[in-house]
């Protein structure tokens, strides 16, 4: 049976603002690669090559960015929501392009899930719906999913207190659904996968199973998690199916068009993108990603930080634990410290001090 995928990417990315004011969350860069490419890489590696993106916020930007990416034999199409339709409504909006079994992914989940094994389990059980579950240390922050002994879904418990916790398996935002189930979702109306669709499946006695896997899983939707995702990728804690441009060496990925002064220091792991220029006495890393065209001036220090394209860090500036948007200019001797986020085009004067929350 042919398997297609729908990626839910209709959210506004409000938790990642100001980074997502101009660039939608599905294409924020991870190691200078649009996030969506990681999901497409996962799908393609498991033989799912027909992908529909359900989107509402700035679809033209997503198309432009993904149009520059090498997608291999994965076919990417999109359907646009005129008004936000929620998670299940977004799937229903894509239903006209779906024929048969469909894998649904939340648009902010970074995972190395063995999708082939999940699809095999779905088939073997005769399931109509299967939900990917992952164990977490603090289940009170998530929606828990209780299972019957045979793996069927028993009930959902949304962000319980510790006294209510009966399992540490949480909804990890990947689902396998048979096409006919999509007809249960009202067309053109806001409808929630978690609060409405899944309870409906339980109410109707649909063959609905959980698939528990302890692999890598991260919701990149907050600044802290977005920074963590970059660090995990740099450290090799996540096996991705895409990689930054350039050769991978002892210190990470340094693009061949980047220029480094002889006295500049690189402490891996790092990614230094195309056209970057690092001046003498500057120190880059560890845990640093420089987007294309960044300029790090004399004596500047950048560590555990993500800089998007065309960022300029002035002489003796110090950037640590921060997220810096496109085209930002940071003055000489400025300090930008842990948790700080600078949106696209920000200008920070010399000797400024900026700390996060």
Domains and CATH numbers, the chain: 3-234 (3.90.550.10), 253-354 (2.160.10.10)
pLDDT band of residue 72 (cuts 50, 70, 90) is: confident
Residue range 152-180: mean pLDDT, rounded: 84
Instruction: Give the percent of the chain with pLDDT over 90.
Output: 55
How many CA atoms are closer than 13 Å to the CA of 146, on its beta-carbon side?
13
Mean of the per-residue pLDDT values for the chain? 89
In contact, 3 and 47? CB cutoff 8 Å: yes
Residue range 91-104: mean pLDDT, rounded: 86
- Indicate the Cα dihedral angle 311, 316, 321, 327, nearest 10°: -10
Distances in Å between the Cα of 85 and the Cα atoms of 65, 94, 159, 189, 355 are 24, 11, 23, 6, 37
For residue 7, what are its two tokens?
């990626």
* pLDDT confidence of residue 267: 94
* pLDDT confidence of residue 111: 93
In contact, 50 and 44? CB cutoff 8 Å: no
Catalytic residue among 25, 82, 159, 225: 159
Burial 201-233 (b: 16+ CB within 10 A, else e): beeeebebbbbbbeebbbbbbebebbbebbbbb
**pLDDT of 306 over the 80 cut:** yes
16 φ/ψ angles, rounded to the nearest 5 degrees: -100, 5
* 129-135 and 169-177 beta bridge pairing: antiparallel
CA distance 36 to 215: 19
Q: What is the pLDDT of residues 132-149, one digit of tens each?
A: 999 888 877 777 888 999
DSSP element (H, E) containing 163: none
**pLDDT of 155 over the 70 cut:** yes
pLDDT band of residue 13 (cuts 50, 70, 90) is: low
**pLDDT of 247 over the 80 cut:** no
CA distance 294 to 273: 8
Cβ neighbours for 331, distance < 8 A, ≥ 6 positions apart = 314, 317, 348, 349, 350, 351, 352
Task: Answer yes or no: 159 catalytic.
Answer: yes
In contact, 215 and 113? CB cutoff 8 Å: yes
* pLDDT confidence of residue 35: 93
């Amino acid at each position: 049976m042919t398997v297609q995928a729908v990626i839910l990417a209709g959210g506004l990315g409000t938790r990642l603002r100001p980074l997502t004011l101009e660039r939608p969350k599905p294409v924020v860069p991870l190691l200078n690669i649009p996030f969506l490419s990681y999901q497409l890489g996962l799908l393609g590696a498991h033989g799912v090559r027909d992908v529909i993106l359900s989107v509402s916020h700035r679809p033209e930007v997503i198309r432009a960015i993904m149009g520059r990416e090498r997608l291999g034999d994965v076919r990417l199409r999109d359907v646009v929501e005129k008004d936000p339709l929620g998670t299940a409504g977004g799937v229903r909006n894509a239903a006209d392009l779906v024929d048969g079994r469909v894998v649904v992914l939340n648009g902010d989940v970074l995972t190395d899930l063995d999708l082939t094994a999940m699809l095999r389990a779905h088939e073997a059980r005769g399931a109509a719906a299967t939900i990917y579950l992952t164990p977490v240390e603090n289940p009170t922050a998530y929606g828990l999913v209780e299972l019957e002994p045979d793996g069927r879904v028993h009930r959902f418990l949304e962000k319980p207190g510790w006294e209510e916790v009966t399992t540490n398996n949480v909804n990890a935002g990947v689902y396998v659904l048979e096409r006919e189930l999509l007809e249960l979702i009202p067309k053109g109306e806001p409808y929630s996968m978690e609060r409405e669709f899944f309870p409906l499946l339980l109410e109707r006695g649909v063959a609905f199973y959980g698939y528990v896997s302890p692999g890598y899983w991260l919701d990149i939707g907050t600044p802290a998690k977005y920074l963590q995702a970059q660090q995990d990728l740099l450290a090799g804690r996540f096996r991705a199916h895409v990689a930054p441009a350039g050769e991978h060496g002892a210190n990470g990925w340094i693009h061949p068009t980047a220029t480094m002064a002889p006295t500049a220091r690189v402490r891996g792991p790092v990614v230094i993108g195309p056209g970057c220029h690092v001046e003498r006495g500057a120190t880059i890393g560890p845990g640093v990603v420089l987007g294309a065209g960044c300029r790090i001036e004399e004596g500047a220090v950048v560590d555990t930080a993500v800089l998007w394209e065309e960022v300029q860090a002035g002489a003796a500036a110090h950037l640590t634990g921060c997220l810096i948007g496109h085209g930002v200019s940071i003055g000489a001797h400025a300090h930008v410290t842990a948790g700080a986020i600078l949106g696209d085009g920000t200008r920070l004067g010399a000797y400024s001090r900026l700390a996060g929350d």
